Structure 1
Amino acid sequence: MSTPQPPSKTQMRRLAWASLIGTTIEFYDFLISGTAAALVFNKTFFPALGTASATMLSFATLGVAFVARPLGAILFGHYGDRVGRKKTLVSTLLLMGLSTVAVGLLPTTGQIGVLAPILLVLLRVCQGLAVGGEWAGATLLTAENAPEDKRGTYALFPQLGPSLGFVLASTTFLSTRLMMSSESFAAWGWRIPFLLSIVLIAVGMYMRLNIGETATFRQAVGTQKSSRNPFLEAVTRQPREILLGTGAVSMCFAFYYIGVTYLTSYGTEKLGLSQTFVLAVGIAIGATLAVSTIVGARLSDRIGRRRMMSLGNLFSIVFALLMFPILSVGTTWAYIIGACLSQVGVGLAYGPVGAMLPELFATRYRYTGAGLSYNLAGVLGGAVTPLLAVQLQDSFGGLAIGLYLAGVAAVSLLCALAGAETSKRRFDSATDPVAAPVTPSAEADTILPTR
């Protein structure tokens, strides 16, 4: 059986754009629900409750999506490792798109009663399943095709999805909010970003239907080394890697979702800032995350994944204790500084993750193993943190949130340090990953490889 040829420069560019656009669209769909939860879901779907309880239940709708994410990683990871990355990614994108549009069409509690929040939760579960299966496959499109000494740089493309998705979500909500009154926005304007998703999904589907399978997966299939039960193999053969990978990434989710969901609510309800201002700052938050993610990914090819993730976690430990004292100043500039700097440590640690998690696992169950670690971290960091933040703020104040975030970052730092350095591992075997020296390639300083 001949070894599959690596992708050409044109093919690699198409894979990179497909992974970037796909993850951006999926995170846009996932995050507009977070923005809506912070701004309108408490009044639209939980109108009979007090402000704090309604806000907490709004964030709970986000939490159920996170609980569904590991299930999505197992479900779609099974097919991703069995039938291929491409077909699975088409399925996740379609499921996410239909669920998001359905949220935009969902009647309110005032129209259909308690059925409205129940349907909202079910649709959020569908979104969670989709995004749970999305990340690993999109990352493998680039990571499994990349030159070994530049894997962090190539795996950067899908890592930009959360930051660009948040910029897109904030921009859409801001544009919608500026075009109408507060009453109209609360009544029906919030639906527009959800309905616009149908256009983005069409673009993403076109991109993904016109890409090929990764060379590494084709090689595994060609040598009949694909797994019959990827989940069982991953959890029995590499449980330590799953646990350490989960712990190392948890900080990224905790700080990210504090920045993109909780601070939206905090800025409007606790600090009295306007919705338009908070949404505009959301664009700056996403841009800050994008820049720091690029820096983290590129440097991880030079100094290693573990060292780069440790630096990001150290920054986050320190800034967690400063964030809410800065925000509590209450000025617009204090909010900008506090919100944007909250994402610097996230990006520095998150940039290397696109290469690090796939490098931990064998090809035969890589989709499942990487996706499971990533989405379990989402449950620990992303689902729990916004809910706890509401309770901590009401009971003890913002400093308590900072202490909690510092604790999460400390755990992630310890997990990153306990794990192995993965940047020297090869993807040329379907067996357990083995560390091997990497010879710098001719493309070391380029963004896209040649044959």
Structure 2
Amino acid sequence: MSAATTTTATTEVPRSALVRAFVASLSGTALEWYDFAIYNVAAAVVLGPLFFPSSEPLTATLLAFSTYAVGYLSRPLGGFLFGRLGDKIGRKRVLVTTLLITGIATLLIGLLPTHAAIGPAAGVLLVLLRFAQGVGLGGEWGGAVLLSSEYGNPEQRGFWASAAQIGPPAGNLMANGVLALLGVALTDEAFMSWGWRVAFLLSAVLVIFGLWIRVKLEETPVFKAIEARGDRPSAPISEVFRTQTRPLVAAVLCRVGPDVLYALHTVFVLTYLTTQLKLPRNVGLVAVLIASGFQLFLMPLAGWLSDKVNRRGLYAVAAVCGAVWPFVLFPLIDTRSWPLIVLGVVVGLGFHAFMYGPQAAFIAEQFTERLRYTGSSLAYTLAGVIGGAIAPLLFTALLAGFGTWVVVGLYVTVACVVTLVGLWLGRDPQPEDEVQPLSSTFNVVSK
């Protein structure tokens, strides 16, 4: 059956289904990012001395961040594996699997013996579990984006697709909140001994809730239409590389700046505050907590606004602001004033939100419907390797090598320039290419 042939049946998608898809996308990515964020925060304040002990604290931090990078480096494997399956067998089944992989890996990290108990094997096992986390998350994002956006009207894709983008700040909010509460309730000795494990073990409860939401949801109307007309790709990965080269490059590059900016504010700032300024751990944790709370509202707002104005233009303005902000952020942090530290992190993650909110829709729009899971997953995971994976390592190494935050700021600026290049290579949505074919297959009830 040709790609041009569509089913004649008309299926209405009620608004309740749109909301369920939005919640399923948000909750799943929030749970997986809770798992990932718990590790990110723990890498900065706990995992170094427990799994990679060293007489030099900076060395232990570098080793802990190395396992942080493993979680990014394994994402392309998840993107290749699950992106391909998402275009071949459907979004829903793949998303249930990715949630299980990340949740089980996080639970096992919470049970893992430390270096003091089993020696170097502790670090090896931690790296393996971190690798599994990355594989699960690598296959999660592309499907979560499509889960919400493919239920909605393409003209409102910026808002509906932002559901998956809210997941990181929501997960980060939960992770930092749990760790901050544990830090307040426990002594440093108790927290380092067993308290940090509680945050990892809580993921078991969260995964059960996420599975309940996703199992009840039906497959997306877009994939049903593709399946009905017999247009599922047989080799989606090779087809993306062969026919979607420019869209893939644009989607990869547009992600670099936001990834680096996020790593700066949610990971490296914690290390800078505790190791360079000798401030208490909770100073940075609470600042990230407050900023993540703002992002919960800013990201859907940015997604909605990108439906009203040019999506690339909005994204580009935020990228320019992100390129400049580190040169304001660090002077604010260096004052050691808690209100100014909070201001710096909140504004920086606000600029990130106005890139990240529209990002899901922008990336999805670069690829044809039948290759969107594969294309989006590859873009997301490959960008993570050159963006978020190495950023904390480079931040720490640059600060140690040059002794000044200025080089860290310059690195963020370069990353945002790379994002601007990606936006220039990308395309704006083409409603005539999407609304008509989809509306002949199903109607979306949006009021």
TM-score by length of 1: 0.93
When structure 1 is superposed on structure 2, of 286-295 and 391-400 the one drifting more is 286-295
Query: In structure 2, how many angstroms separate the alpha carbons of the residues matched to 1:109 and 1:426?
Result: 56
Taking structure 1 as reference, are residues 144 and 232 closer, same or farther at Cα in structure 2, changes over 3 Å only?
Answer: same
The residue that corresponds to 1:219 in the other structure is: 225
Taking structure 1 as reference, are residues 359 and 260 closer, same or farther at Cα in structure 2, changes over 3 Å only?
Answer: same
Identify which of 197, 202, 208 aligns with 1:202.
208
Query: In structure 1, how many angstroms separate the alpha carbons of the residues matched to 2:377 and 2:12?
Result: 24
How far 1:218 moved relative to its partner? 0.7
Whether the aligned pair in 1 keeps the contact of 2:366 and 2:426 (CA below 8 Å) is no
How far 1:294 moved relative to its partner? 2.4
The residue that corresponds to 2:412 in the other structure is: 405
State the aligned residue count.
437
The residue that corresponds to 2:3 in the other structure is: none
Aligned amino acid, residue 375 of structure 1:
T
Which deviations, in whole Å up to 9, do the C-alpha atoms of 1:127-171 show, x marking residues without a partner? 000000001101101111111211111111111001111101000
Identify which of 295, 298, 309 aligns with 1:292.
298
SS at match of 2:336: coil
Corresponding position: 1:336 with 2:342: yes
The residue that corresponds to 1:420 in the other structure is: 427
When structure 1 is superposed on structure 2, of 35-44 and 264-273 the one drifting more is 264-273
SS at match of 2:390: helix
Identify which of 316, 324, 344 aligns with 2:330.
324
Aligned amino acid, residue 416 of structure 2:
A
How far 1:16 moved relative to its partner? 0.8
Aligned amino acid, residue 316 of structure 2:
S
Query: In structure 2, how many angstroms separate the alpha carbons of the residues matched to 1:54 and 1:16?
Result: 40
Corresponding position: 1:166 with 2:163: no
The residue that corresponds to 2:26 in the other structure is: 20
Aligned amino acid, residue 30 of structure 1:
F
How far 1:5 moved relative to its partner? 1.5
The residue that corresponds to 2:99 in the other structure is: 93
When structure 1 is superposed on structure 2, of 139-148 and 208-217 the one drifting more is 139-148
Query: In structure 2, how many angstroms separate the alpha carbons of the residues matched to 1:299 and 1:334?
Result: 28
Q: Pairwise mapping of residues 20-419 of structure 1 onto structure 2 (< 5 A)?
A: 20-396=26-402, 397-419=404-426
SS at match of 1:217: helix
Whether the aligned pair in 1 keeps the contact of 2:161 and 2:360 (CA below 8 Å) is yes
Aligned amino acid, residue 283 of structure 1:
L
The residue that corresponds to 2:4 in the other structure is: none
When structure 1 is superposed on structure 2, of 200-209 and 363-372 the one drifting more is 363-372
Aligned amino acid, residue 68 of structure 1:
S
Query: In structure 2, how many angstroms separate the alpha carbons of the residues matched to 1:124 and 1:226?
Result: 32
Whether the aligned pair in 2 keeps the contact of 1:216 and 1:428 (CA below 8 Å) is no
How far 1:420 moved relative to its partner? 1.3
How far 1:427 moved relative to its partner? 3.9
Whether the aligned pair in 2 keeps the contact of 1:257 and 1:382 (CA below 8 Å) is yes
Aligned amino acid, residue 286 of structure 2:
A
Taking structure 1 as reference, are residues 107 and 232 closer, same or farther at Cα in structure 2, changes over 3 Å only?
Answer: same
When structure 1 is superposed on structure 2, of 418-427 and 406-415 the one drifting more is 418-427
Aligned amino acid, residue 71 of structure 1:
L
Query: In structure 1, how many angstroms separate the alpha carbons of the residues matched to 2:10 and 2:131?
Result: 38
How far 1:240 moved relative to its partner? 1.1
How far 1:426 moved relative to its partner? 4.3
Whether the aligned pair in 1 keeps the contact of 2:277 and 2:336 (CA below 8 Å) is yes
How far 1:45 moved relative to its partner? 0.5
SS at match of 2:365: helix
Aligned amino acid, residue 419 of structure 1:
G
| Larger relative contact order (CA 8 Å, sep ≥ 6) | 2
How far 1:423 moved relative to its partner? 6.1
Aligned amino acid, residue 449 of structure 1:
S
Show structure 1 runs of 5+ residues with no match. 431-435
Which deviations, in whole Å up to 9, do the C-alpha atoms of 1:74-121 show, x marking residues without a partner? 101111111100000000000011000000000001111111010000
How far 1:3 moved relative to its partner? 4.2
How far 1:227 moved relative to its partner? 0.7
How far 1:425 moved relative to its partner? 6.1
Query: In structure 2, how many angstroms separate the alpha carbons of the residues matched to 1:370 and 1:120?
Result: 28
Whether the aligned pair in 1 keeps the contact of 2:330 and 2:405 (CA below 8 Å) is yes
How far 1:395 moved relative to its partner? 1.9
Aligned amino acid, residue 76 of structure 1:
F
SS at match of 2:428: coil
How far 1:7 moved relative to its partner? 1.7
When structure 1 is superposed on structure 2, of 187-196 and 360-369 the one drifting more is 360-369
Q: Percent identity?
A: 33
Query: In structure 2, how many angstroms separate the alpha carbons of the residues matched to 1:274 and 1:181?
Result: 13
